[in-house]
Structures are given as structure tokens and as C-alpha cells.
Amino acid sequence: MGEILKNPVAAEKAAKGKNARENSGIRAAYQHHIWKKLFFMVFLLLLTLFLSAFIITIGPLDLSVWEVYHILYNELLVLLSTLLNLIFPNSFEVIETPGNVVWDIRFPRVVAGLLAGFGLGICGCVMQAVLKNPLASPFTLGISAGASFGVAVAAVLGVGIIGGPYLLVGNAFLFAMLCSLFIIGLASFKGATSETLILAGIAVNYLFSSLSSLFQYFATDEQLRLIVSWGMGDLAAFSWKNFPLLLVIFLICIPLIYLKANDLNLMTIGDESAKSLGVNANEVRIFTMLLASLLVATIVCFTGTIAFIGLVAPHVARMLIGADHRFLLPASGLLGALLLIASDAVALNIISPTTIPTGIMCSLLGVPFFIYLIVKGKRKEFW
């Protein structure tokens, strides 16, 4: 020790060695922390796959999880053979399998729940980050109110951009997007701060809710039943013919949102701090809000109003996995999917054969669970 004190070079080398050991320890702890998050994500994914197969077995037709996977495997082989024959005619034998309740009825409903829950969870996480508001969700900014007004217009007046069976779906999507674009445009004109977006969303929400109520007042009994049932939210309307459009929107929006994960991390510490680190907070806010609005509008037009998933899933994910959006975004999506398919399974079977709308069951199950998390959760500020 005395030699080190007398020799400055030796003292400097000792200090460097100590710093290197400390840095190595910090890196090891960080890598361990990352692996824990990745393990949790894999666990959520496996749980989602198992729960999806288990839910398909619930119902009047008694099936095991293994039988469900076997049926889905056979149906996917038929689909793959058909697609390959379109590319290479008569090159692959198409295996005929009889239509069954798993592929035609139960599985599309589970797929709809997975996609809708995943999308709503991610969009809720994005909106809470860019607005820095724990109460923000895909439906607090008036998107659902705009979609409901579009449905009311289609039901009462029979007017829409698309006729036939897509009349309600087309109007719901159109007015949801118009509502979102109006909010974002107004915020851009006045400065795209989180406060401006929230205030504009509240104003638009009340406006379209009032207009929808006005249409309901003049609606006939059948028209009123259609408007109210759509507003309750349900997965029953989803079918395989809707799947390609929903999948394309997901493949466009989700990767683009995830590319902004690091920017969202910086925005949570404040717009000025983010700008000092090279992130234009207003541009990121508008870009991510546009993508989230497009995704929510697409989901809403097929499922109706399922409002609670986008609020609860990000909070649960944040309590379990932390506030790093590189992990928080996919975790919010997976938890949203789990919550939605579980709520739908309860809604289908709790008083069978009567089916409760999925949106109602999500709120009935979600509100007590959310209150429990608030009461039992750690007192920690995220905003």
C-alpha cells in the first residue's frame, strides 16, 4: 500500500483496475436485468399461446388442447397446400378436412381477441407515454366516440362510404380517423403539446358523444338496438375475411411504433430534456399518435368499443417490467391480448348459452383488478 502511495503510476493503474471491476459489475447486473425482462416476455408469449388453445376447448363441444392443436395443424396444411397450388398449379395435394367449430367459429374469435388486445395494449402504452398522462388510452381522445357517431349515421340515415355489409365498418373507421386527424391537426396548429392533445380530445369526445346521443334519440327500436349493441363491443363480428386487412395494418403500424421506443423513453423525462438529447418531441408525438390512431380505428371498426384494455394493460406491464419502452411496448401488447381473450372466454361461458358482450365483461373484470393494483402496487411516480 505504501509503494502505491509513493508511486503515482502504480496508484493510477490501481484506480483504473478498480474502475474496470466496477464497470464490469455494472454491465453484468444490467445484462442480468435485461435477461429477466426477456424471460418474462417469453413467459407471457407461451402463456398466451397455451391460454388461446385452452379457451378454444371451452364450450358445448368437448375438446382437449392437443385435439385443438391437431385440428389447427390440419387446417393450416390445407391452407398452405391451397396457396402453393396457386403458385405451382397441381403440384400439391389438397387434404380435404370437414368444416368444424374450431376453425370456423372459435379460432377466428380468439385471433380477433389476440390482435385487438395486442393493438389496444400497445396504443394505450404509446398514448400514455407521449401525453405523459396515466389516464390516457385509445378511447380518452374521442376515437371511440367518433366511431360510434359513424355507426349511428350508418344505422339511422343509411349513409356511408361503403355500402352493403361493410356499411357500419366503413363509417366507424372513417369517423374514427377523422376524429383523430382533427385532434392531431388542431394540436399541430396550436403546438403539439400533451396538454393540447388531451384538451382537444376531451372536446371532440363530448362533441361526438352528444351527436351520437342525438341520433339515438331519433332512431327506431331496431336502429337503436344496432347502435347500442355495437357500442358494447364484441368479437363475434370478426371473421377470416377481415383478417388480411387487420394483419396488414398491424404489420405497418407496430414496427414503426417500436422504432420510436427509445424516443418515447426520452420523452417521459420532459419535452425540453428530450430536445436537448436530439429528439423532436412534437414530431414524435404526432407520428406515433397517427400510427396509434390508425391502428385503433381499424380495431374499433371490427370489434366495437372495448375501452378498458388500453388503459389497464400498460399499467400492469409497467408495474411488472419497468418503464423501458423497448420492453414495455411488447409486454403491454401481450398483456392486453391475455386480458381480452380471458375476458371474452368468461363472457362466453359464465351464463352459457347467453353471451355477454366482450366490452362489458372487460370493464366488469378490469375495474376491480385495476383498483387492486392501485391499492397494492408500489408508490412510484412514472410521469
pLDDT single digits (tens) 183-195:
877 766 766 677 7
First to last CA, the chain: 49
Q: Is residue 383 situated within a structural domain?
A: no
pLDDT of 10 strictly over 60: no
Mean pLDDT of 147-160: 86
**pLDDT per residue as tens digits for the range 284-299:** 888 898 898 889 888 8
Q: Is residue 87 situated within a structural domain?
A: no
Biggest distance spanned by C-alpha atoms of the chain = 96
Q: What is the CA radius of gyration of the chain?
A: 25
Q: Is residue 69 situated within a structural domain?
A: no
pLDDT reported for residue 191: 65
**pLDDT per residue as tens digits for the range 242-267:** 888 888 999 999 999 999 999 888 88
Judged on CB neighbours under 10 Å (0-12, 13-18, 19+), 30 is: exposed
Average pLDDT, the chain: 80
Domain span holding position 54: 2-62+99-376
What percentage of the chain exceeds 70 in pLDDT?
82
Mean pLDDT of 202-221: 89
pLDDT reported for residue 379: 46
Q: How confident is the model at residue 334 (pLDDT cuts 50, 70, 90)?
A: very high
> In degrees rounded to 5, what are phi and psi of residue 381?
-90, 130
Q: Is residue 382 situated within a structural domain?
A: no
**pLDDT per residue as tens digits for the range 129-144:** 888 877 788 777 778 8
Separation of alpha carbons 341 and 337, rounded Å: 6
Q: Is residue 80 situated within a structural domain?
A: no
Q: Which residues of 272-294 are buried (b: 16+ CB within 10 A; e: fewer)?
A: eebeeeebebbebbbbbbbbbbb
pLDDT reported for residue 57: 80
Residue of higher predicted confidence among 219 and 67: 219
Q: Which residues of 172-183 are buried (b: 16+ CB within 10 A; e: fewer)?
A: bbbbbbbbbebb
Separation of alpha carbons 253 and 138, rounded Å: 15
Residue of higher predicted confidence among 30 and 314: 314
pLDDT of 7 strictly over 60: no
Q: How confident is the model at residue 159 (pLDDT cuts 50, 70, 90)?
A: confident
Q: Is residue 91 situated within a structural domain?
A: no
pLDDT of 12 strictly over 60: no
Domain count, the chain: 1
How far does CA 39 lie from the centroid of its chain? Answer: 21
Lowest mean pLDDT among 49-63, 294-308, 350-364: 49-63
Q: How confident is the model at residue 337 (pLDDT cuts 50, 70, 90)?
A: very high
pLDDT of 8 strictly over 70: no
**Where residue 201 sits, what CATH number does that domain have?**
1.10.3470.10
Q: How confident is the model at residue 274 (pLDDT cuts 50, 70, 90)?
A: confident
What percentage of the chain exceeds 90 in pLDDT?
12
SS (H, E, C) 276-321: HCCCCHHHHHHHHHHHHHHHHHHHHHHHCCCCCHHHHHHHHHHHHH
Q: Is residue 72 situated within a structural domain?
A: no
pLDDT reported for residue 73: 75
